[in-house]
Amino acid sequence: MNKALAAIVFAVIAAPSWAQMTPEGLWRNIDDKTGEAKAEIRIQANGAGVLTGVLEKRLAKDAKPEDVCKECSDDRKDKPLLGLEIIRNAKKAEGKDVWEGGKILDPENGRNYTLRMTPVEGGKKLEVRGSIGPFGRTQTWVRVQ
């Protein structure tokens, strides 16, 4: 009886941290070159567990509400940056706390990169890697509470 009670108490205390080990939520992306916050991106799952991410707020000093994705070459060309879907089709890797297989768009250059997202520090941060072949870069995004 005591062991069962201890297990329940542990599960209740630990549950919030388990729930955070996912990319779902609101994230502030930090430029890996300048260290400045650039935007807030909301990552959500559809019914099939596939993640998408939408640029919800721009934080750069020179950001204008009317800015569009001039460099995009797909269906996002000339679409407003606010509300733009920059993450598409990310799926959880089997047996790991890693989401991959999707693409991430860099609206500054219009390129789509292969995506890999890994929650770290108990889900408080998200390592976001975009790559083309063996070349890529990783940014650390911070969860917005």
Q: What is the pLDDT of residue 93?
A: 95
Classify residue 46: in a domain, yes or no: yes
Residue 52 forms part of a structural domain: yes
Q: What predicted TM-score, i.e. pTM, was given to this entire model? A: 0.83
Number of domains in the chain: 1
1 assigned to some structural domain: no
The model's pLDDT over 93-102, given as tens digits with 9 standing for 90+, comes to 999 999 999 9
- The position carrying tokens 């941290």 is 17
Instruction: For residue 11, tell me if it sits in a domain.
Output: no
Write the CATH number for 132: 2.40.128.520
pLDDT tens-place string over residues 115-129:
999 999 999 999 999
